[in-house]
Amino acid sequence: MPDRAIGSTRYQQLAQEIEQQIVAGVLHAGDRLPSVRQACANRGVSPSTVFQAYYLLEARGLVRAAPRSGYFVTARANGVQLAEPPTSAPHSGPQAVDVNDLVYAILGSARARDIIPLGSAFPSPVLFPLDRLRRALVSGTRRLAPWNMVEDLPPGNLRLKREIAKRYVRQGMAVGPDGIVLTHGAMEALNLCLTAVTRPGDSVVVESPTFYVALQALQRLGLHAIEVPTHCREGIDLGRLAQVIDLYRPKACWLMTSFQNPLGSLMPDAKKKDLVQLLARNEIPLIEDDVYAELYEGNSAPLPAKAYDHRGLVLHCSSFSKCLAPGYRVGWAAPGRWASEVERLKLMTSLSGSIPVQAALAEYLQEGGYDRHLRSLRKSLQAQRNSLFDAVTRNFPEGTRVARPAGGYFVWVELPAGVDALALHRAALAQRISLAPGPMFSARAEFQHHIRLTCGQQWDATLERATRTLARLIGDASPTPRPVQSSI
Amino acid sequence: MPDRAIGSTRYQQLAQEIEQQIVAGVLHAGDRLPSVRQACANRGVSPSTVFQAYYLLEARGLVRAAPRSGYFVTARANGVQLAEPPTSAPHSGPQAVDVNDLVYAILGSARARDIIPLGSAFPSPVLFPLDRLRRALVSGTRRLAPWNMVEDLPPGNLRLKREIAKRYVRQGMAVGPDGIVLTHGAMEALNLCLTAVTRPGDSVVVESPTFYVALQALQRLGLHAIEVPTHCREGIDLGRLAQVIDLYRPKACWLMTSFQNPLGSLMPDAKKKDLVQLLARNEIPLIEDDVYAELYEGNSAPLPAKAYDHRGLVLHCSSFSKCLAPGYRVGWAAPGRWASEVERLKLMTSLSGSIPVQAALAEYLQEGGYDRHLRSLRKSLQAQRNSLFDAVTRNFPEGTRVARPAGGYFVWVELPAGVDALALHRAALAQRISLAPGPMFSARAEFQHHIRLTCGQQWDATLERATRTLARLIGDASPTPRPVQSSI
């Protein structure tokens, strides 16, 4: 196609040729591009020309690099990318919460082991160093004196608190062991923090959509949810948050500032800083659910909002469940000025964490190797995110919108208007595929044509088939019927 | 003393002689009686005569059998036993609860390792098979497939539930694995059950005195306590309970029917049955805190009230923390008709228990040896209870009343009227001795001259000295001053 190449450099020319092949359907979504070596040989160009061409295609979103595997076509057959969902537009104002029946029905329906877990909240456990953790369980408990089994109870394992504190310090935060309350996973930490800063009847700001666990906590404590518009890349809308604060005087915010569940959004650093300042001006505590922070792309972890908090107003909650030791149930809160209140609540509700598993994690962290594990985990999850995103892009019908997550392991999908996510959930389950329908993520059961998909497993033909099945079910459910097929 | 022996059989005669020696101060509190063999040889009587004499002295509370060690004098030097405390007489009517500051101040003050832990809530960890548990941690986790680490999360380890269910079945209770919710220790189980059956502002019946954890749970949930008179041997007064039910319509009872903390009381079987029937007639749920059930004397475990419940109204809570694995934090609830509600609350507040420690306990229980461990633990605790009870009997001043516990590891002591238990707590701490002052066990800070002592450790000279020191401090604090000693 020399006519299209006029005025182009060699790499632009190469990129255009490949783009043309994609649009023409010569190269299909999911196809691998020739390796750099092959392309050099076939085209008689230098490796740097091939690289530049591939970078250009990647920048245009037409191909994607998969670590150690090469470049793959991501584009839809017609070359048009799916749009991302717009900022959410929830109904405003405080809302009593009643999500439990829905959440339990959905979680309960998808528990069989033969179900393809696109709706799961957990990444695959094979991503974690379970053998090394078991060895740490042995060596860590061997170090314990018998009296540790009762005397460590209220404060928790000090070695583990020190290891956690070190990681705060590495990010420039002044959180010491005394400022950390060990909990049964982040969920207990979040619940205790919410209990510490609210009284029944209060209103609490959450993102829209928000993780259903936040809604369940609000329901349990008799709190009202104020859902604030949130964007799938940049997180909560601070302008609307400021208005909501003026209008309703919420008693707290519960936000996921990095890799929000379900959106995958990552608030930029400057925005996190603005958030903390806005809340500080209004003396509103921020409960920061930061369990996905380690699952970032690139070279450095995003800072939490906590890093910009100089007044103890951020109650930072995290755990090892998503990045190291699922099932161990070890989390923590760094509750700022509420540290002693949260410690008391912890003492009152479940006394203390499990001493052996705390000792195991302390041992593991002290031995080193955690950062190496995290690098490998991040690489796996990035590939899995790309694969799921690409599969949605390739297979889902026109009118689908999909958010490209910046980290974590969820992909948020807005289906064509009129597709009922709950009906889709039922139809998918009949095909042994789970998904998380949008209404789980809203106090008003909004997001009725949205779903959250999970990329917690290595991508394979089964998952590829599952997304195609979903695509077909979505097509079947779309209000505009497809042309009737002749049947016998 | 032939005049006293007229009309007596030989064994009565022997018993009277020994009693005389005790009263005369020839035999001192703590002295060992001659062995049966020695007594036969010395007196020219048969072994059965000696045994009968010793049994008679034991029945009179003058001597006590220590396993494998023989018989010891328990009586005070003047031969007068200390009376037991009368049934408590709390102020009646619902009472808002505000115990946290007191409880935390006292628990926090006694945490240093050099303090003699007469106020501790825990038995000594050396009583438990920590090495075998650690091996079970290794073998139990080795059995887990990776997917157990996430898929076991909501329901908990099924093997462990089955082992727990087996123990219910052994006692004739129809509790299956599905009726059990695994929790972070009994404390979480109790808290979840209380949450399931009450709403803020409700009233809940507790014993008087009651374990401060019950009061803290009531405070946290905004509930009112109705404290009902309770006897140190037979537990709560059912007549008063019936009146309280008619007057105040409480929404629940939270009771420890076996080896109550702090009293050590054990409700007789028939009384437990009456309790269940009384509550059933009024449709009132019973939250039964049964963590000490395995720490009985004699040959068979007391049945819980749950055993008499045919309507699912008893929410039975227990754990392995007091009888097998302190620090592991594995407990459970068998919540009867509230099972699914409690399971939901569990899911909502802390998701699930720690998978590795659940697997370890399942492994330990399946391997066998638990009952052997329990027999040895019971023997140790019985000896320790006797030693502490005897030491109090020997050393504490006139006017002291002490409850002989039927199991567990607490001894409840009523000090001479006018001794301030909180002041005593402070004076004892200055001597590096902890104790649990009575006001911790009451919503109205009653029991101001009562203390709970712990016999969780093997008795030794340090503990003997500590009780003497306490006795001296009590004497110093008694309102009737002792004769002034000449100084210099």
Residue A279, domain CATH? 3.40.640.10
- Which value does ipTM take for this structure? 0.81
Calculate what percentage of chain B has a pLDDT beyond 70.
92
Q: Are A400 and A359 contained in the same domain?
A: no
pLDDT at A8 exceeding the cut of 80: no
Listed range (A290-294, A348-352, A415-419) with the worst mean pLDDT = A348-352
Tell which wins on pLDDT, A364 or A62: A364
Q: pLDDT value at position B80?
A: 63
Distance from CA of A26 to the nearest CA of B (A): 41
Domain that holds residue B273: 128-371
Q: Which residues, including other chains, have CB under 8 Å from residue B235's CB and lie 6 or more apart?
A: B207, B255, B257, B260, B263, B265, B266, B267, B271
Residue B417 belongs to a domain:
yes
What is the band of A156 on the pLDDT scale with cuts at 50, 70, 90? confident
A188–B349 C-beta distance less than 8 A: yes
As a whole number, mean pLDDT of residues B216-235 equals 95
Of A146, A351, A360, the CB nearest to B185: A351
| Closest partner CB to A134 (pick from B138, B191, B328) | B138
So what's the pLDDT on residue B348?
A: 85
Residues 6+ apart with CB under 8 A from B467: B118, B388, B391, B392, B395, B396, B453
Q: Strand, coil or helix: what is A366?
A: helix
In a domain, A202, yes or no: yes
B354, A142: Cβ pair inside 8 Å? no
pLDDT at A270: 97
Q: Is the pLDDT of residue A419 over 70?
A: yes
Q: Mutate which of A151, A191, A342, A343 to test chain B, going by most B C-beta atoms within 10 A?
A: A151
Among A328, A349, A409, pick the best mutation site for testing chain B contact (most B Cβ within 10 A): A349
Confidence band, pLDDT 50/70/90 cuts, at residue A2: very low
The pLDDT value recorded for residue B172 is 93
Q: How far is A419 from chain B (nearest CA, A)?
A: 30
> Which chain B residues are closer than 8 Å to A120 by Cβ?
150
Asked if A196 contacts A335 with a C-beta cutoff of 8 angstroms, the reply is yes
Start-to-end CA distance of chain B, whole Å, equals: 44
> Minimal Cα–Cα distance from A260 to chain B, Å?
19
A14 and A151 fall within a common domain: no
- What angle (nearest 5°) sits at the alpha carbon of residue B318, between those of residues A356 and A159? 20
Separation of alpha carbons A452 and A164, rounded Å: 31
Q: Of B347, B371, B395, which marks where a domain is finished?
A: B371
Q: Check whether residue A365 and residue A379 sit in a common domain.
A: no
Given a contact cutoff of 8 angstroms between Cβ atoms, the answer to whether A441 and A209 are in contact is yes
Same domain, B416 and B449: yes
Identify whether residues A194 and A291 lie together within a single domain.
yes
pLDDT at A152: 63
The minimal CB distance from A151 to the residues B113, B148, B348 is found for B113
Q: Residue B21: pLDDT above 80?
A: no
The shortest C-alpha distance from A339 to chain B (Å) reads: 15
**Three-state SS at B266:** strand
| B149 with A326: Cβ contact below 8 A | yes
Q: Does the pLDDT of residue A483 top 70, yes or no? A: no
Give the tokens for residue A251.
């008693």
- DSSP label at residue B479: S
Q: Are residues A296 and A414 in the same domain?
A: no
**Structural contact between residues A454 and A120, judged by C-beta atoms closer than 8 angstroms:** yes
Q: Do B100 and A220 touch (CB under 8 A)?
A: no
Q: A13 CA to chain B: closest CA distance, Å?
A: 49
Q: Is residue B483 part of a domain?
A: no
The pLDDT of residue A4 is above 90 = no
Percent of chain B with pLDDT over 90: 63
Closest chain A CA to residue B144:
A130
The dihedral of CA A194, A199, A205, A206: what is its sign? positive
Question: CA-CA distances (angstroms) from residue B216 to A209, A225, A345?
Answer: 35, 28, 10
Given a contact cutoff of 8 angstroms between Cβ atoms, the answer to whether B39 and B33 are in contact is yes
Same domain, B365 and B379: no
The pLDDT value given to residue B25: 56
> Does any domain span residue B360?
yes
| CA distance, residue B63 to nearest chain A CA (Å) | 34
Nearest to B142 among A134, A142, A352 (CB): A134
Percent of chain A at pLDDT > 90 equals 63
The answer to whether the CB atoms of B329 and A353 lie below 8 A apart is: yes
Instruction: Look up residue B274 and give its two tokens.
Output: 């009456």
> Helix or strand or coil: residue A137?
helix
User: Across the interface, do A329 and B185 touch by the CB < 8 Å criterion?
Assistant: no
Q: Which of B318, B338, B371 is the last residue of a domain?
A: B371
- Nearest Cβ partner for A356 among B104, B147, B328: B328
Which of A329, A361, A434 is the best substitution to test chain B (most B C-beta atoms within 10 A)?
Answer: A329
pLDDT score recorded for residue B212? 95
Confidence of residue B75 (pLDDT cuts 50, 70, 90): low
Cross-chain residue pair B351–A329, CB shorter than 8 Å? yes
pLDDT for A78? 60
User: Does residue B151 fall inside a structural domain?
Assistant: yes
Pair A184, A276 in one domain = yes
Are A57 and A145 found together in one domain? no
Q: What number of C-beta contacts closer than 8 Å exist between A and B?
A: 164
Give the per-residue pLDDT at B4. Answer: 42
Q: Has residue A201 got a pLDDT over 80?
A: yes
B100 contacts A151? CB cut-off 8 A:
no
Mean pLDDT of A202-223: 96
Query: CB distance B220–A348 less than 8 Å?
Result: yes
Are B151 and A330 a contacting pair at CB < 8 A? Answer: no
CB-nearest partner of B344 from A100, A113, A345: A100
pLDDT, one tens digit per residue, over A68-111 is 788 888 766 565 678 889 999 999 899 999 998 999 888 888 87
- 8 Å CB contact of B150 and A327: yes
Please tell me the predicted confidence (pLDDT) of residue B110.
82
Residue B338, pLDDT above cutoff 60: yes
Per DSSP, A179 falls in state G
Question: Given this model, what pLDDT does residue B23 score?
Answer: 61
DSSP string, A119-133: T-SS--GGGS-HHHH
Which residue among A128, A220, A351 places its CB closest to the CB of B348? A220
Q: Assess whether A144 and A258 both reside in one domain.
A: yes
Verify whether the Cβ–Cβ distance A113 to B151 is below 8 Å: yes
Most confidently modeled of B65-79, B87-101, B251-265? B251-265
State the nearest Cα–Cα gap between A82 and chain B, in angstroms.
Answer: 33
DSSP letter for A346, please: H
Query: Which of residues A371, A401, A431 is at a domain's end?
Result: A371
In a domain, A321, yes or no: yes
- Residues A348, B100: C-beta atoms closer than 8 Å: yes
Which chain B residue is nearest to residue A147, measuring alpha carbons?
B125
Domains held by chain A: number? 3
Task: Encode pLDDT of B157-197 as tens digits.
Answer: 999 999 999 999 999 999 999 999 999 999 999 999 999 99
| Closest C-alpha among B88, B94, B93, B73 to residue B24 | B73
pLDDT for position B63: 83
Mean pLDDT of B3-26: 71
In chain A, which residues have their Cβ closer than 8 Å to the Cβ of B147? 113, 125
Q: Token pair for residue A303?
A: 């800072």
* A430 — pLDDT class (breaks 50, 70, 90): very high
Residues A358, A410 within the same domain: no
CATH number, domain at A52? 1.10.10.10
Is B350–A187 a contact, with Cβ atoms under 8 angstroms apart?
yes
Six-digit token string for A78:
């017609």
The whole-number pLDDT of residue A279 equals 98
Q: Among A266-270, A447-451, B342-346, name the one with the lowest average pLDDT.
A: B342-346
Residue among B195, B327, B354 whose CB faces A153 most closely: B327
Q: Which of B192, B212, B350 to mutate to test the interface with A (most CBs of A within 10 A)?
A: B350
> Residue B24's pLDDT is what?
60
Cα–Cα distance for residue pair A334/A177, rounded to 1 Å: 9
Q: Residue B78: inside a domain, yes or no?
A: no
Rounded to whole angstroms, how far apart are CA atoms B123 and B455? Answer: 7
Q: Model confidence over A14-65: pLDDT tens digits? A: 988 887 776 665 676 678 899 888 889 888 899 999 998 998 888 766 788 8
- The pTM of the full predicted model, rounded to 2 decimals, is 0.84
Chain B residues within an 8 Å CB radius of A149: 125, 128, 130, 326-327
What digits encode the pLDDT tens for the residues B249-273? 999 999 999 999 999 999 999 999 9
Give how far B25 is from chain A: nearest CA, Å: 40
Question: Which of A187, A344, A354 is nearest residue B104 as measured by Cβ atoms?
Answer: A344
Instruction: Quote the mean pLDDT of chain A.
Output: 89
Helix and strand numbers, DSSP H then E, in chain A: 16, 15
Question: What span, in angstroms and rounded, lies between the C-alpha atoms of B457 and B384?
Answer: 7
In this structure, are A415 and A464 located in the same domain? yes
Residue B279 in any domain: the answer is yes
Contacting residues of B for A97, CB less than 8 Å apart = none
Q: How crowded is residue B107: how many other Cβ atoms within 10 Å of its Cβ?
A: 18
pLDDT value at residue A125: 86
CATH number assigned to the domain comprising residue B108: 3.90.1150.10
What residue type is assigned to position A402 of the chain?
V
Nearest CA in chain B to A216: B348
Q: Which of A120, A330, A348 to mutate to test the interface with B (most CBs of B within 10 A)?
A: A348
The yes-or-no verdict on residue A488 having pLDDT over 50 is no
pLDDT value of position A109: 84
Look up tokens 């009451």; give the residue: B442
